[in-house]
Homo-oligomer: A and B are copies of this chain.
């Protein structure tokens, strides 16, 4: 942390800051420039609280130096975190694709989609049973009945299941059915929830909040890691900006930034980051070209009748075409899409 004094700070004010720094068990290094003094605050490696100092007289600004996360950083763990999820391997050279409908709407809708996405090359199945909806009057998801359908689809297709958990007290229920617990964008800073999923053994997929910085996404990952769960996947899904031509703005920069800052796998969800099926394939290709480790795609057998997010869902045949294009781009950047999921007869699992 660097404390920048005002140009007109008095010697007493500078001495006072130094004294308080030292009273906190930290060391102070003075740099006296022509215009102003800067005090470097050096600690023992733990993050130093900025707020205490901001208030002291004579201070202009407090500038953080250390990153506020540790377990999530590449400096802490230089190699990529690679882990297996029910047969799917994520974080290595092979790219994985998670696909499925926004919401579980019925047994037939989900099974039809699950077979279709497996056929097209998906490695895991997504689908929401609990849906965070802006309106209290919108479809809120099927709840546990939806989880049962997801488990049946896994049984039938062998695809591991990714589904959202919205509240700490839902975690025991959802872990009974799901392979990966998804933390939705609106809950990225729901610390009660992050705490609980950090204590369970299931892999966690954290979606970036729509106004969360990359650093805050890493801090959300750090929450989960710090409670003992090491299997965390980070997902860019678009941020909120002034641009209204698309629902969100895909922060494609976040892909190389995250890959340089963290060892955790990084995937991108172009369905939400564009909000428009017409742009999903182009942005899926871009994500892989930028270095993402995977994709999360909304697919619906009949988007026009979807109970949520139909406008951003691909039909199965377009999804298959997208997978083909993504494979070509993956090869161009020296990677490959993981082999299609092997059809395993339910009895053999």
Query: Residues on A close to B: CB < 8 A?
Result: 2, 4, 6-8, 20, 29, 31-36, 38, 40, 42-47, 49-56, 62-63, 65-66, 68-69, 75, 132-138, 140, 166-170, 186-187, 189-193, 209-211, 213-216, 219, 222-223, 226-227, 239-246, 249-257, 260, 273-274, 276-279, 282-283, 285-291, 303-311, 313, 325, 328-329, 331-333
A310 B54 Cβ-Cβ under 8 A: yes
Q: List 13 A-B pairs, Cβ < 8 Å.
A: A34-B42, A51-B309, A167-B167, A187-B190, A211-B211, A239-B241, A245-B253, A246-B257, A250-B251, A253-B273, A286-B290, A289-B289, A329-B329
In this complex, what residue of B is CB-closest to A276?
B54
Q: What residues on B are CB-neighbors of A168 within 8 Å?
A: 167-169
B242 A242 Cβ-Cβ under 8 A: yes
Copies in the complex: 4
- Asked if A329 meets B325 with Cβ closer than 8 Å, knowing A186-B189, A242-B240, A288-B289, the reply is no
Distance of A215 from chain B, by nearest CB (Å): 7
- What separation, in Å, do the CA atoms of A138 and B136 have in the docked complex? 34
A31 B42 Cβ-Cβ under 8 A: yes
B241 A244 Cβ-Cβ under 8 A: no
A329 B273 Cβ-Cβ under 8 A: no
B240 A4 Cβ-Cβ under 8 A: no
Which 4 A-B pairs give the minimum distances between C-beta atoms? A211-B211, A54-B311, A289-B289, A31-B40
In this complex, what residue of B is CB-closest to A62?
B311
Q: What residues on B are CB-neighbors of A333 within 8 Å?
A: 285, 325, 328-329
A55 B313 Cβ-Cβ under 8 A: yes
Excluding A29-B31, A68-B134, A325-B333, 10 further A-B contacts by CB distance (< 8 Å) are: A2-B65, A8-B75, A33-B66, A51-B306, A51-B310, A167-B168, A242-B242, A256-B282, A285-B332, A329-B332
B51 A45 Cβ-Cβ under 8 A: no
A214 B243 Cβ-Cβ under 8 A: yes
- What separation, in Å, do the CA atoms of A331 and B333 have in the docked complex? 11
In this complex, what residue of B is CB-closest to A188?
B186
Q: What residues on B are CB-neighbors of A255 within 8 Å?
A: 282, 286
In this complex, what residue of B is CB-closest to A290?
B286
Q: What residues on B are CB-neighbors of A6 within 8 Å?
A: 75
- B38, B51, B277: the one within 8 Å of A2 (CB): B38
Q: What residues on B are CB-neighbors of A31 within 8 Å?
A: 29, 31, 40, 42
B34 A44 Cβ-Cβ under 8 A: yes
- What separation, in Å, do the CA atoms of A326 and B199 have in the docked complex? 43
B252 A286 Cβ-Cβ under 8 A: yes
Q: What residues on B are CB-neighbors of A69 within 8 Å?
A: 135
- What separation, in Å, do the CA atoms of A32 and B214 have in the docked complex? 27
- Asked if A47 meets B282 with Cβ closer than 8 Å, knowing A35-B66, A253-B250, the reply is no
Q: What residues on B are CB-neighbors of A34 within 8 Å?
A: 42-45
In this complex, what residue of B is CB-closest to A227?
B136
Q: What residues on B are CB-neighbors of A250 within 8 Å?
A: 251-253
